[in-house]
Amino acid sequence: MLIRRPPDLLAREITDESAYFGRREFLRAMGYGAGAVAVSAAAPAALMACAPGKVDPDDKLTPWEAVTGYNNYYEFGTAKDDPAKNAHTLRPRPWKVRVEGEVARAADYDLDDLIKPFTMQERVYRHRCVEAWSMVVPWFGFPLRDLIARLEPTSKAKFVEFTTLADRQQMPLIRRPILDWPYIEALRMDEAMHPLTLMVTGVYGKALPNQNGAPLRLIVPWKYGFKGGKSIVRIRFLEQQPRNTWNIAAPNEYGFYANVNPAVDHPRWSQKRERRIGELFRRETLPFNGYADQVAPLYAGMDLRANF
Amino acid sequence: MFLLALIPALKLARGVAIGYLGIDPVETLAIKTGTAAITLLLCSLAVTPIRRLTGWNELIRFRRLLGLMAFFYAVLHVATYVVFDQEGSLSLIAADVWEHPWVLFGMTAFLMLIPLALTSTRGWIRRLGGKRWNRLHRLVYPAAIFAVLHFLLAVKLDVRKPVLYIVVLAVLLGARVVWARQRAATQAPAGRPGPTPLTAAEPGN
């Protein structure tokens, strides 16, 4: 697939110093060892490779405290500050990821082996929750498409499904059947192959904190945040569209696509505007969360009202 | 009692004073004031059943206070919504109320509480007369029902808290229905006057 447009927010233009100073700490925390040098050298190159796009001067980075203290991670509680309080029981290493389904290189991978081949890059993305709040987050990771290319899905693979950890030892609260655990999310193959779609291992130049979905999560910046499964333990390639957890919980409220769309309200509340965390007043929500130029063609001819 | 009911407001005032009301201060304001309003509304509705069950009649002295404090928090709650969520725009508010039952229920509950707060004084009880005053103040029942439904719809998925409020309200209202039936049953055949009628200074609820 061609890259139609680079990401329209450039990390180097708005990332504050602390994120850059933190980068080495991040690499240490990630345990790359010798590989770290190569990564830290490669990261600025990757950023420079992005041609300048339109930069919204309003998109200031959401502070670390908010990014890591205001989370939806229901396996650790349903209040926004619950995950930060409770997720310390998660053990992000050692970590296995099972790859299965319509894919040539199906296996159980150690996470570090799985991600070793990829150059980590910083991507500053807007993050829009279905609850009508948003953030601007400097993620660290690599495009999912690179991983998919290595795993060699078969021609039958039409969807990629991500399964989140559901372990009663590490997540005692999942005894409450709030959602149908384990948490499952999925993308159509062309969405998964889109260059904006990111596998994330860090944020703000540090290893991903547990409450943000350590050690590996998905970020799809033009979709509502719940599409981004956290603490991923299984990646499955499928011919049929799987059901995602929120769709199972409330089919009339949460669809499979979950593209950010101010024209289609949540049945109970408005999606026209959002509160950027850190601001008092709401701002307009943009179609596809402002990434329409890059991703709208994926949905050409589709009824986005029906496929919400 | 007054000080107890003031605790949420003091906590919020302290947050404003130190400049920290949680990561999303508007959400904190909305949730804390809304929860306080509904809690106090249910407390005010608990006065009559508790009096009846325990004979602790002193409690009636606090009912107006509880109701007014509930209204006070409801005003803060609606003000938060009007100012921060809708930027004071009447057309935005109208569209939001029209399109979303959640908002409609909350707004309905609030509008119902306004006349109750305005007529809460002794002067208004006298002016309206106990009977009419009582009839008007039965508005608190639908207001409470709309308020808890508003709470239920505001929650994304984890409904334990709103369901708890709904159960409490159902018990408080259910008790009144049962007692009203008993009263009717004992009154009708004998044609006797019912229990001591409530005076204007001590209106029923």
**What's the pLDDT tens digit per position in A105-114?**
999 999 999 9
pLDDT for the residue numbered B9:
86
The 10s digit of each residue's pLDDT in B15-55 is: 888 878 889 999 999 999 999 999 999 999 999 999 999 99
* Paired tokens of A305: 């009202």
Distance CA A301, CA A294 (A): 16
Question: What per-residue confidence (pLDDT) applies to A246?
Answer: 96
State what percent of residues in chain A have pLDDT above 90. 80
**Bridge partner residues of A162 (DSSP):** A185, A235
pLDDT(A2) > 90: no
Give the residue ranges of DSSP H helices in chain A. 11-14, 17-30, 35-48, 64-69, 82-86, 111-115, 144-151, 189-192, 245-249, 292-295
**B31 touching A (Cβ < 8 Å):** no
Distance in Å, alpha carbon of B120 to nearest chain A alpha carbon: 34
Q: What pLDDT, on the 0 to 100 scale, is given for residue B171? A: 96
Greater confidence (A256 vs B189) lies with A256
Radius of gyration of chain A (CA): 18
Cis geometry, peptide bond prior to residue A182 (ω within 30 degrees of 0) = yes
Residues A109/A99, Cβ–Cβ less than 8 Å: yes
Question: Which one of A78, A129, A179, A272 makes the best mutation probe of the B interface by having the most chain B beta carbons within 10 Å?
Answer: A78
Assess contact for A28 and A206: CB atoms under 8 A: no
pLDDT at position A98? 98
pLDDT at B80 over 60: yes
Residue A134: strand, helix, or coil: strand
Alpha helix stretches (DSSP H) within chain B: 2-18, 25-54, 63-80, 90-99, 101-118, 122-128, 130-137, 140-154, 160-190
Span A223-244, average pLDDT:
98
The model's pLDDT over A14-71, given as tens digits with 9 standing for 90+, comes to 544 454 445 444 444 444 433 333 344 344 333 433 433 345 677 899 999 999 999 9
Chain-chain contact of A280 with B87 (C-beta, under 8 angstroms): no
B202 or A152: which carries more pLDDT confidence? A152
The verdict on a CB contact (< 8 Å) between B157 and A66 is no
pLDDT tens digits, one per residue of B134-166: 999 999 999 999 999 999 999 988 899 999 999
- Structure tokens belonging to residue A302: 């589709």
User: Is B27 in Cβ contact with A178 (below 8 Å)?
Assistant: no
> What is the ipTM, given to two decimal places?
0.81
Distance CA A19, CA B25 (A): 25
Residues of A in contact with B84 (CB under 8 A): 275, 280-282
Q: Give the pLDDT score at B1.
A: 74
* pLDDT tens for each residue of A170-195: 999 999 889 999 999 999 999 999 99
The verdict on B153 touching A (C-beta cutoff 8 Å) is: yes
Chain A contact for B152 (CB, 8 A cutoff) = no
pLDDT at position B4: 82
Contact A249 B153 (CB under 8 A): no
Per DSSP, chain A holds a count of helices (H) and strands (E) of 10, 12
Read off the amino acid at residue A190: D
Under an 8 A CB cutoff, do A269 and B101 touch? no
* CB-based contact, B15 to chain A, within 8 Å: no
Record the tokens describing residue A269, joined without a space: 């509340």
Give mean pLDDT, residues B93-116.
95
Tell me the shortest Cα–Cα distance from B158 to chain A, in angstroms. 6
Question: How many angstroms separate the CA atoms of A261 and A271, rounded?
Answer: 7
Residue of B nearest to A62 (CA): B23
The residues with which A232 forms a beta bridge, in sequence order, are A164
CB contact under 8 A, B99 and A70: no
Residues A274, A293: Cα–Cα separation, whole Å = 20
Q: How far apart are CA B135 and CA B198, in angstroms?
A: 13
Looking at the complex, does the CB of residue A139 fall below 8 Å from at least one CB of chain B?
no
Cα separation of the two ends of chain B: 19
Computed over every residue of chain B, the mean pLDDT equals: 89
Residue B156 with chain A: CB contacts under 8 Å: 131
- Write the DSSP symbol of residue A154: -
Give strand ranges (E) for A71-203: 96-101, 107-110, 121-128, 133-143, 159-164, 184-188, 198-203
Q: How many CB atoms lie within 10 A of CB B197?
A: 9
Quick one: pLDDT at residue B20?
A: 85
Of B26, B99, B101, the CB nearest to A280: B26
pLDDT for B189 equals 61
pLDDT tens sequence across A199-222: 999 999 999 999 999 999 999 999
Q: Do residues A8 and A55 lie in contact, with contact meaning Cβ atoms separated by under 8 Å?
A: yes
What is the pLDDT at residue B204?
A: 54
Q: How far apart are CA B128 and CA B122, in angstroms?
A: 10
Between A128 and B158, the more confident residue is: A128
Q: How far apart are the first and last CA of chain A?
A: 24
**pLDDT value of residue A3:** 40
Taking phi first (over 0 means left), then psi (-120 to 50 degrees means alpha), and beta for anything else, what does residue A290 get? left
- A vs B: CB pairs below 8 A: 49
Which residues of chain B are within 8 Å of residue A175 when distances are taken between CB atoms?
none
What are the φ/ψ torsions at residue A302 (nearest 5 degrees)? -90, 145
